[in-house]
Chain A
Amino acid sequence: MNLLDTVLRCVATLVVFLVFPLVIGQTEHKVMAHMQGRLGPMYAGGFHGWAQLVADGVKFAQKEDIVPAGADRRIFQLAPAVSLLPYLFVLLAIPVGPNGFVGQAVDAGLFFVLAVMGVGVIGKLMAGWASANKFSLLGALRTAAQLMSYELPMVLAAASVAMAAGTLSLPGILDAWEWYWLPWQIIGAFVFFTAGLAELQRPPFDMPIADSEIIFGAYTEYTGLRFALFLLSEYVGILVVSALTAVLFLGGWHGPMSDQLGWLWMLLKTFGLAFVVIWLRVTYPRLREDQLMRFAWVGLIPLALVQLALTGIIKVAIA
């Protein structure tokens, strides 16, 4: 029984891991198109191009698997998996609804999630280094630098929530959540979400993959399925960052009739944030590398510290 339960949870997480990023990707196709006055994919699958990403997947699978002659073969081939899998583990720990509706409740869930998300960057670093290509290396080093800069405000903002809830467990944080946390943690929410975007290297923070300057950075030498895995990791990343922001700052499954419809509230909040991610991508141009670093150190970190101080003061005042 216990084994069956575990297998079921793992399979459900895997299905979410494989399906939701495609939904987000398709939404991006359509939303971006309409924000630019276009229609986006219209043919694949018949109805408004719903099967476009399936068709893309088939195309990627058919492509030749090329490893450059000068590349470090094993590392080069391993990198996409290292970049993708951490997000799967993160998904396992994100609570979807009340009363234990979660892949696996981890006691130090917040700590686990933030630590594992950082591993994905190693995959990109591996890809950049093993490609034996200067653009890839540049991209990978920028990725690493970006992670170093943005991990700090992200962790500080998350710490603020943990401090308010008095626990590191994600379901525990949600159990302690009250509506007034929304205005209370609003600065932290902004910092966390922005830093999350930067960790995903989504525009406007996509300097490390800047396709017009360093031709997709660490992914320059990749084709076919391995490239598709990198892309998938980007979209799973959107899902994870949106879900985490929803859990930590927007109250996850909290909402009217949360006993029955908790999962729906969680999904709504997650996809709402995913829409914002796409919206920001369409609206803003890419930050320059030095602006990117400056924004993290001069903008986000002081804000996160202010939030942390605010949380501490109000927490003491309440107690």
Chain B
Amino acid sequence: MSFPGVGLAKGLAVTLRTMTRKSVTAQYPDVQPVLPPRSRGVIALLEENCTVCMLCARECPDWCIYIDSHKETLPAAEPNARARTRNVLDRFAIDFSLCMYCGICIEVCPFDALFWSPEFEYAETDIHELTHEREKLREWMWTVPAPPALDPAAEEPKEIATARKAADKLAAAAAAEAAAAVEEKGDDA
């Protein structure tokens, strides 16, 4: 059962309905977009954690990470000990004109020195400006969001688990010692 012109009327209804709804346009420079969690905007460097192991630079598919360092000798802590050497970071730079935002450097970093930041507004008029040096990479660190909360039934984080185990052991040892002390007292009496 259909009248002639029903399709035409339906078309009019569709456009009229769309007009009354909120439009989907994102007014970007005026209104910031809502980014999904773990957005890959820019890579931040926490240089205090960096040991100059060079894993990130070697794993980078684009070879866009530049690291320079030198070794420093620390004076021996005890008279007969060997003097320790330590790597000191001189330069850490990421060329974002080459970076393809794969995140391998962040995955591979064994000391949690690299992080994703959702900041994305760092376009430049000169391509050389896209090579961010360590100061700038450190500044991005302030924009890194806190890690998302764990799932309700998730396993405990490794660090906390280890710390808790150690604390438990200590508490158990203390309790055993106390119990032993009480027993000794009882024997004496």
Number of interface residues of B (CB under 8 A): 13
The closest CB in chain B to the CB of A284 belongs to B11
Q: How far is the CB of B157 from chain A (nearest CB, A)?
A: 44
Complex interface bits, A28-45 against B, C-beta within 8 A gives 1, otherwise 0: 000101111111001000
- Point out the residues of chain A lying under 8 angstroms from B8, CB to CB: 284
Contact indicator B15/A283 (Cβ below 8 Å): yes
Q: Give the residues in chain B near A33, CB-CB below 8 Å.
A: 23
Q: Is the CB of A34 within 8 A of B23?
A: yes
Q: Which of A28-82 contact B (CB under 8 A)?
A: 31, 33-39, 42
Residues of A within 8 A of B127 (CB): none
Q: How far is the CA of A35 from the CA of B25 in the complex (A)?
A: 12
Docked-complex contact A36 and B11, CB < 8 angstroms: no
Contact of A283 among B11, B21, B27 (CB under 8 A): B11
Complex CA gap A35/B23 in Å reads 9
- A191 → B minimal CB distance (Å): 15
Interface of B is mostly: helix
State how many angstroms separate the Cβ of A80 from the closest Cβ of chain B.
Answer: 31
Total chain A interface residues with beta-carbon distance under 8 A: 14
Contact with A along B81-100 (1 / 0, CB 8 A): 00000000000000000000
- Closest CB in chain B relative to A277 CB, distance in Å: 13
Query: For chain A residues 278-299, which have a beta carbon within 8 Å of chain B?
Result: 279-280, 282-284
Q: Is B6 an interface residue (CB 8 A)?
A: no
Complex interface: chain B residues within 8 A of A279 (CB): 12, 15-16
Chain B residues packing against A (C-beta within 8 Å) = 8, 11-12, 14-16, 18-19, 21, 23-25, 27
A residues contacting B by CB (< 8 A) are: 31, 33-39, 42, 279-280, 282-284
Apart from A35-B16, A280-B12, A283-B11: 13 A-B pairs, beta carbons within 8 A: A33-B23, A34-B18, A34-B19, A35-B18, A36-B18, A37-B21, A37-B23, A37-B25, A38-B25, A39-B23, A279-B16, A282-B15, A283-B14
